[in-house]
Structure 1
Amino acid sequence: MKTEYKCLECALSGYTRLVEKQDIPKEKKDDLVRWFFSYMSGIDLSTPAPFIARDMHAYLRKELNCNDLYAEDKLNDNNKIMNMLPEFKEAVKNAIHPEIAALKLAIAGNIIDLGTNHGMDHSQVISQAIARDLAVDDSARLLTAIKNASNFIYLCDNAGEIVFDRLFLDTISELGILDKSNVVLAVRGAPIINDVTLEDAEYVGLTRDYHVISNGDHAPGTCLKFTSDEFNDAFAKADFVISKGQGNFESLFSKKDKQIFFMLIAKCSLVADQIGVDVGDMICKLNDTDAEIN
């Protein structure tokens, strides 16, 4: 997706919110904000928003001498969802279709996104997830693709959310839909907002049961011109892709030569309009692809 002026408004809000949190002199904060406007004046609006966020946060990390500006937030979100995991497991177990219940929770977990200004209540969205309908529902095709696949890649998104990803994968594995050896999970190559890194994947136990790789890049999306050779090789060889979250959707939306299932909550009007849903809707959507569908 191309960057629209509303994306710049969201970027400014997130950037200034992060700057304001820093314990630094006002003069330094002013300099950081001046840089933002100077940088934005020269951006290419045909570039997806995650590419722009990549540059913004790289600059902040360098200027603030801090590798992970959201480390505490990520730890808190991972701990919060892991502490609640027994009740979510019970809800999935008691559902008429446990695989769909777990899939809905994995999508609802995408609300834990510190890079957007959606204003939705995390707890409410997650607690209501199993009872809600998907606004776009390609879940049957997704589960069939997983069952038939010899190799696919799962693009993780945010801390906290990743605990629900594990619940979804564990559930469909227990039901005989997924062979764990057939999936590669990919995370960010370095900290960016509250996106998942290898450290987060290890912390929530994903690396014990699944093959997890870094994508080699720090954009809050999947920018294939920046990702590593290892990731690009896994992406190219995959029968299909599961893409979690809005940033991955924005950066992979136009890719038509690969079967991609997008799992996300639409958290802004631009993404919602692109998909044809309302803000806040839960989505499991197969992309418009030229690739063969299993």
Structure 2
Amino acid sequence: MECLKQQVSSSAKLAQSNNCDIAIKEANDFLEGDLRTKLEHFFKDSNLKKDFEIPPTLVAMPIYSALAKNLNNDDIYHTIKKDSIQKARKIKEFLKKEIDIQDEESLLKFGIYCAALGNVIDYGAQLKFDLEKEKDSLFNMQFKYFDIESFQEKLMYAKNLLYIGDNAGENELDEILIEVLQCLNPKLAITYFTRGQSIINDITIQDLKKSNSNLFNMCDVVDSGIGTPGFIPDLSSAKAYEIYNTADLILSKGMGNFESLESFKNPKIFFLFKVKCSVVSDYLNADIGSFVFLDSSKYRGSYVD
């Protein structure tokens, strides 16, 4: 949970509140002792099973709820999210010009790389990002896993795809991959999940509306009802739960969604993210800073933080 402690500390200081030290102490105190009992009490009205494997994203929700209350700020990252979206939108417009010059064989790879580039944006992680610098080396990205063949095969027969979004800003570059997917499978129905409420710098429907996102014109955008920085089916809204369970294919963006969904062993999921912490790095045997496009049906690990 060391990564989470660092995130909380950075978030509290970002708010520039007089209660910063108190908020950090309360967060650290929460992480001590019988964590499962504390979480069961916090999520007492949920459908979480008693033997549920606890991902760090689940722990983040009660901590950030308390943090927001202590700091009197429900959206600490509001300005950062707005700036990230604006910056990514400029890069998206530049990259979209390249779509027309890609042949069909390289088009999907191009879309995946663009979406992966978007995952560089993450103020909740340990590493700083330089999106402009990353853009210049787009096709030199180092992927530990790149299961494009199996994804392409499943995409061909899929009628509907669930795209689970992650951070504010990367949604702009998700648009490029979504456009590519619709080009390769014109009959494909796509649903894009956002977070159910503001937490760290994760994208919400409100963020998309305020930024006049084009996603609303491209696919069905759904508030997942999730208040954690990662999609956990048992905590989602009834609508989101149904969409998740009936999707032919699922594209999960970001490390938080990987941490939340990996234990479900859903063979329909492909994970796409940049490795940003040592725990995930060791678990996947992938260097920090490398990228992953992973077919979950081929990987059967057991992630524990």
TM range (shorter): 0.7 to 0.9
SS state at 1:274 partner? helix
CA contact (8 A) 1:149 1:239 kept: yes
Which one of the candidate residues 157, 180, 190 is aligned to 1:183?
190
Partner residue, 2:9: 16
Correspondence for 1:55 among 55, 62, 70: 62
- Shift in Å at residue 289 of structure 1? 6.3
Identity %: 25
Q: Give deviations 1:119-172, integer Å, cap 9, x for gaps.
A: 453332333122335321111221232221012211010111111111111133
RMSD of aligned C-alpha atoms?
Answer: 2.1
**CA deviation profile, 1:263-284 (whole Å, cap 9, x unmatched):** 1111112112222221111111
Q: Is 1:88 aligned to residue 95 of structure 2?
A: yes
Structure 2: unaligned runs, 5 residues or longer: 40-52, 300-305
| Secondary structure, counterpart of 1:220 in structure 2 | coil
Report the Cα distance in structure 2 between the residues aligned to 1:23 and 1:86, rounded to whole angstroms.
Answer: 34
The residue number in structure 2 matching 1:143 is 152
CA distance in 1 between counterparts of 2:187 and 2:204 reads: 23
Residue number in structure 1 paired with 2:48: none
State the Cα distance separating 1:225 from its structure 2 match.
2.2
Deviations 1:209-243 (A, max 9, x none): 21011110210001222111111010011112111
Correspondence list, 1:256-271, <5 A: 256-271=265-280
Q: Partner of 1:123: helix, strand, or coil?
A: helix
**Gap change, CA 1:284 and 1:178, over 3 Å in 2:** farther
In the alignment, which residue of structure 1 is the partner of 2:24? 33
Determine if contact 2:166/2:194 at 8 Å carries over to the other structure.
Answer: yes
Shift in alpha-carbon separation, 1:13–1:167, aligned structure 2, 3 A = same
In the alignment, the residues of structure 1 paired with residue 99 and residue 236 of structure 2 have an alpha-carbon distance, to the nearest angstrom, of 35
* Matched-pair contact (CA < 8 Å) for 2:253–2:271: yes
Q: 1:233-248 maps to which residues of 2 (within 5 A)?
A: 233-248=242-257
Equivalence for 1:251: 260
Q: Could you list the runs of 5+ residues in structure 1 that have no partner in the other structure?
A: 1-7
- For 1:6-63, what per-residue CA distance to the aligned partner results, in whole angstroms no more than 9, with x for missing partners? xx222222212222222432xx223212212220113249521101111111111222
Deviation at 1:187, TM superposition (A): 0.8
| TM-score (normalised: structure 1) | 0.88
Contact 2:266–2:297 (8 Å) recurs in 1: no
Do the aligned partners of residues 249 and 257 (structure 1) sit closer, same or farther apart at CA in structure 2, a change above 3 Å counting? closer
Q: Is the Cα–Cα contact under 8 Å of residues 267 and 297 in structure 2 kept in the other structure?
A: no
Contact 2:195/2:204 (<8 A) preserved: yes
CA distance 1:133–1:94, change in 2 (3 Å): farther
Alignment partner, residue 109 of structure 2: 100
CA 1:257–1:249 in 2, change beyond 3 Å: closer, same or farther? closer
Alignment deviations for residues 57-86 of structure 1 (CA, whole Å, 9 cap, x no partner): 111122223221111111101111112222
**Shift in alpha-carbon separation, 1:220–1:250, aligned structure 2, 3 A:** same
Alpha-carbon distance between aligned partners in 1 of 2:86 and 2:130, rounded to the nearest angstrom: 18
Matched residue type, 1:196 = I
Residue-pair matches, total: 279
Q: TM-score, normalised by structure 2?
A: 0.85
Distance 1:185 1:117 in 2: 26
Write the distance in 2 (CA, Å) between the matches of 1:199 and 1:120: 24
Runs of 4 or more, structure 1, over 4 Å off, are none
Deviation of 1:200 after TM superposition, in Å, equals 2.7
Q: What is the rounded CA distance, in whole Å, between the counterparts of 2:29 and 2:8 in structure 1?
A: 14
TM-aligned CA deviation for residue 92 of structure 1: 3.6
Q: Structure 2: which amino acid aligns with 1:226?
A: L
Give the letter aligned to residue 5 of structure 2. Answer: L
Q: What do residues 245-266 of structure 1 show as CA deviations (whole Å, max 9, x unaligned)? A: 0000001111124421001111
Distance 1:78 1:167 in 2: 14
AA aligned opposite 2:177? F
